[in-house]
Amino acid sequence: MNRREFLETVAAAAALPSFARQTASQSEWGSPVFDLHFHMRPQPAANLAHLDGAGVTKANLLTRGAAFDQVKAIDAAAPGRFTWFNSYDVTKPDAEQVLTQAVKAGAQGFGEMKFHVAADGPELRRMYALAADLRVPILIHFQEVDHFKDEGAWSTGYAKTFESILKANPKTTFIGHADAFWANVSADYHNQAAYPSGPIARGGVTDRWLSNYPNLFGDLSANSGNNALSRDRTFTPDFLKRHQDKLFFGSDCSCNDGHGAGTSQANNPAAARLAGKCVARETLTVVKRSTSDEVFRKIVWGNVHKLLQIPA
Ligand SMILES: [Zn+2]
Ligand SMILES: [Zn+2]
C-alpha cells in the first residue's frame, strides 16, 4: 500500500459510524458486551471513547436529575448503543413524580440510588413500591464503610434488614451493587473493611439471597464486584455458574479511554488495586477466565436484555 492509499483507508475507517466500528470490539471478548453501570459523561464523545476503548458494545447510562436532553444527544451520536436509568434525591417530596416522568420519557430503570438513608427506611421503601408499579428495576448502592473521612454510609443496614425488603416487595426487581452487597458474599463480613480480602466463607447473605429470591439480581461493577470475584479463585467459578441468570456485567469505570487512563475509581484509596486500570477490562477478564463461553455471554450480554426486555 502506498502512502496515498494508506491515507484513504484511514479516512474511510474514520468516516464509519461508531456502531460499525464495534465489529472488532465484539470479537475482542468473544461476545458483545453490555455495561449496565456506566455513569453518563456530559460529552457524547467521552461516552463513546470509553465504550470503544474497552470493547463494549452497548451501555446503560446512569443519570441523576434532569438528563433527557443529554441522553438524547448521546443517543443521536450513536443510535442503538445506549439505554438509560434515572435517579433523584429520594428525600425530596417530589421524588416519585420526577422518576415517574423520567420513565415516561424513556428511562428503563431507577439508578443508581445512592443516598444517605436506610435500606429499609421510608424514603427507599416508596421507591421500591414505585419501581414495582412502573415495572422498572431499581439499582441500589449499598455501603457501610467510608472511603473518605466523614463520607457517610449509603442504603445502610443491608445485611441485617434487606431480606425483609425482598420478602415484602416480590414485584420489585432489585439490582444490588457496591461494597456491602459484594462483601456479603462472605459469611464472615461484619463491616470491618470496605473491600475485605482473602478466602470467602461460604453462605454469605448475598449468595443465599441471590439463590432464594427471584427478585434480587447482582451488578458486578466497580472495585466491589471485581474484588468479590478476584479474592478467592476457588469461589468464583461456582458462584458465576450458580447465579448465571442473575448477574450483570457493569463497569462503574471512570477512566477516559477504556484502557485505564485518567482516574478509574474516583481516587478511592481503598480501591487502589485498580488504579491505572480500566475496571471494565479487569472485570471482563476475570469473568471470562472463570466461566464457560455460554455463561460469560449471559452475564455480559443476554441477562440484561431480558431484564430490560429489549432484543439482544
Ligand atoms: Zn455506586
Ligand atoms: Zn475504564
- Please tell me the predicted confidence (pLDDT) of residue 270: 83
Q: Is the pLDDT assigned to residue 19 strictly greater than 60?
A: no
Distance 254 CA to ligand 2 centre (A): 6
Distance 13 CA to ligand 1 centre (A): 36
Distance 282 CA to ligand 2 centre (A): 9
Distance 111 CA to ligand 2 centre (A): 20
Geometric angle at alpha carbon 285, from 16 and 287, rounded to 5°: 115
- pLDDT tens for each residue of 227-283: 999 999 999 999 999 999 999 999 999 999 999 999 877 778 888 889 999 999 999
Q: Which ligand is nearest to the CA of 49?
A: 2
Return the HEC string of 6-18. HHHHHHHHHHCCC
Tell me the percentage of the chain whose pLDDT exceeds 90. 85
Distance 56 CA to ligand 1 centre (A): 20
Look-up of cell digits 470490539: 25
What does the block give as the cell for 77?
451520536
Strand pairing class (174-177; 138-141): parallel
Q: Is the pLDDT assigned to residue 34 strictly greater than 70?
A: yes
Q: With contact defined as beta carbons under 8 Å apart, do 128 and 167 qualify?
A: no
Q: Is 156 exposed, middle or buried (0-12, 13-18, 19+ CB in 10 A)?
A: buried
User: How far apart are alpha carbons 259 and 219 in whole angstroms?
Assistant: 21
Mean pLDDT throughout 188-196? Answer: 94
Distance 30 CA to ligand 2 centre (A): 19
Q: Is the pLDDT assigned to residue 312 strictly greater than 80?
A: yes
Q: With contact defined as beta carbons under 8 Å apart, do 312 and 58 qualify?
A: no
What does the block give as the cell for 233?
479463585
Q: Is the pLDDT assigned to residue 7 strictly greater than 70?
A: no
- Paired strand residues for 110: 86, 138
Which SS3 state, helix, strand or coil, does residue 216 take?
Answer: strand
Q: With contact defined as beta carbons under 8 Å apart, do 286 and 229 qualify?
A: yes
Q: Is the pLDDT assigned to residue 14 strictly greater than 70?
A: no
- Specify the pTM: 0.91
Distance 39 CA to ligand 1 centre (A): 9
Distance 214 CA to ligand 1 centre (A): 22
- Exposure string (b/e) for 171-209, b if CB count within 10 Å is 16 or more? ebbbbbbbbbbbbbbbeebebeebbbeeebebebbbbeb
Distance 280 CA to ligand 1 centre (A): 14
Q: Which has the closest alpha carbon to 113: 88, 79, 137?
A: 88
